[in-house]
Amino acid sequence: MAKLKGKEDFLDFLYCSSILEDRTSVLYTSLAEKTRLPLVKALLLHIAYDSGKHSAILEGIAKSIGVWKTKTDKDCERRFGESWRTIRDLSEDLAQRKRIPNEDLPSFVKKLERLESTSGEEYHMLVQLKTLQFMTKEIRELYNVDLEDLKDIFEEMIKDEERHTELLATIIKIFTLPEQKSTENAPVVRYQNPDSWVSPLG
């Protein structure tokens, strides 16, 4: 996370985070719609729901504090870099496909794992920032919400991101398990008397 220098920077971070979470939710929903396996679809939709929830929370906090400067995708891309580009690239790739073959899904999911891990780190660092203390004055005056309440919200989001990583790992396991099983359960055949394979003709 780039250093947040003050209120405006903090608001820009919240605004761009809200957009990123919204686009993440749309991406997971689209991926779920193009996936054939019901369990995988359900896990992806679970993450999509959480990401949509995060987007609404971040936008609500930002609107409660003030008005942000950031107006364009380029501004948010500069702030979030790789995470922003990952969502954009995966969304563009997904838009070109009617279905995601099972063999392609693990590579998608691995990229999303890195994204979830990065998001969790961003929110964790945010909780540690002194800037957060200054931002609570407006919210406390309007809504009687203090710093600890805000920290609790972000810590819950961090837990969600950690759970998302676990769910994505479960999805990858679903696709690797059949291959492992076929190897592990392959019958062991021992031929003790190869000479018996040959029998006289006629």
Average of per-residue pLDDT across 49-57: 94
Torsion over CA: 99, 101, 37, 113 (sign):
negative
- Written out in words, the top-level CATH class of the domain with range 7-178 is mainly alpha
pTM of the model: 0.77
Which one-letter amino acid corresponds to residue 3?
K
pLDDT at 123 over 50: yes
Residue 180 is predicted with a pLDDT of 43
Domain boundaries, the chain: 7-178
Average of per-residue pLDDT across 103-120: 85
Q: Judge whether 95 and 27 are in contact, CB under 8 Å.
A: no
Residue 130 is predicted with a pLDDT of 60
Position 176 confidence tier, pLDDT thresholds 50, 70, 90: confident
Specify the higher pLDDT residue, 10 or 104: 104
Token pair listed for 19 = 């957009």
Residue 138 is predicted with a pLDDT of 64
Q: Judge whether 74 and 20 are in contact, CB under 8 Å.
A: no
